[in-house]
Amino acid sequence: MHKSKGNTIWFDDAVEKVGADPMRLIFCLQDPAQELRFGYNSLKEPANDIGILFNMSKLISNSKKVRIDYIEDKWILSRFNNLIKKATEEIENLHPHIYTRALKDFWLNDFSRGYIQLVRDRLASDDLASKYVLRELYVSLIQLSAPVIPFISEKIWLDLKEKGVVKEESVHLCNWPKYDSKKIDEKLEKDFTIAFKLIELGLFERDKEKIGLKWPLSKAVVYFKEELSDDIQEIIARQLNVKKVELKKITVGEENKIELDINMTPELEAEGYSREFARNVQALRKKAGLQKGQLIELKISCSSRMGAFLNKNIHFLLERTNSKKIEFVDVKSIKNGVAFSIKNEGIIVKFL
């Protein structure tokens, strides 16, 4: 890009088209010792990354401090305190690109794709600890982000203030976060790095067998060279949606791998159908504009086979669909219902 070649992008034009924060982010990520090839295509990724940070604000609510017992909560708190420590050191050493890379890596990988995925079921059940951890981390994360992406940080902050989550008038009037060395656990972070790699192997096996994550399996056999704590095995089991993890040690030179028991028992099949059914009803509730606390009466028309599957998990369905009553009826009893299918099993529902 050069003015003499006529392909210059003027700053004001770029800001008008994509906004200032994506441009600030891409420049802050850049090593000043290297050349930056700038263009509108290169701004798509930072704009998307900022969008992910902004969308996480929808999960944040005003929550009270509670005791932290879950291992995934302790892990993300360790990762975040390490981030504050690194960010502070790199800014003081005049390395803004290293600070910005660590910041973006945290909100994309550790926070969004890591922690929020780990606690999604806890959030769905209004777990107080996960809501508290989310709030504490997100507020401080926006404070860390403010020097790099000041405009979206301020927008997020004002939205949080409106919800009563924060009190300060502006994120730019806040003190810089301080890390707590007592919350940093290097071994725990290493254990989770291993867990995420094994989870990735397991998800690959699910994709290979074309078995969706909503469908539970009885067992995953993990071939690994070291012992895994019960907590880490539980994390792996939960993320792969298997009932148990069986660990088999391998020798040096052998590759880590995971084998899934894909035999589907009637109980597992019933649970899978129930989860898919709940997911469909939740989507219909959202489309209808219903809030989480609004209870419904749910009428279902389906085959006797599907009805038997759903009845086995009726309490789960009552909770997940926010229903005070679920009734199985003949198709003639449902007028203006909504139809969908799960593995070629036709279902019609209507809620009141």
Amino acid, res. 29: L
Cα angle 194-200-202, degrees, rounded to a multiple of 5 = 105
Structure tokens at 43: 């701004």
Q: What is the distance between the alpha carbons of residues 239 and 248, in angstroms, rounded to a whole number?
A: 19
Q: Determine which helix (DSSP H) or strand (DSSP E) holds 302, and give its type and residue range.
A: strand 296-302
Task: Assess whether the region 3-183 and the region 190-261 belong to the same CATH fold.
Answer: no
Q: What is the distance between the alpha carbons of residues 44 and 46, in angstroms, rounded to a whole number?
A: 6
* CATH of the structural domain 190-261, one choice from 3.40.50, 3.30.2320, 3.30.70, 1.10.3470: 3.30.2320
Q: What is the distance between the alpha carbons of residues 333 and 326, in angstroms, rounded to a whole number?
A: 14
What global pTM score does this model have? Answer: 0.87
pLDDT tens digits for range 262-321: 999 999 999 999 999 999 999 999 888 888 788 999 999 999 999 999 999 999 999 889
- Extents of the domains making up the chain: 3-183, 190-261, 266-351
Per-residue confidence (pLDDT) for residue 10, from 0 to 100: 67
Give the SS3 label for residue 222: strand
Q: Determine which helix (DSSP H) or strand (DSSP E) holds 348, and give its type and residue range.
A: strand 345-351
pLDDT tens digits for range 256-272: 999 999 999 999 999 99
Average pLDDT over the chain, rounded to whole?
A: 91
* pLDDT at residue 4 tops 80: no
Span 3-183: which CATH code? 1.10.730.10
β-bridge partners, 247: 222
Closest CA to 231 of 134, 118, 105, 128: 118
Q: What is the distance between the alpha carbons of residues 177 and 147, in angstroms, rounded to a whole number?
A: 13
Per-residue confidence (pLDDT) for residue 83, from 0 to 100: 97
Long-range CB contacts for residues 307-311, cutoff 8 Å, separation at least 24:
308/270, 309/269, 309/270, 309/273, 309/274, 310/270, 310/273, 310/274, 310/277
Tokens 């909504």 belong to residue? 338
Q: What is the distance between the alpha carbons of residues 280 and 260, in angstroms, rounded to a whole number?
A: 26
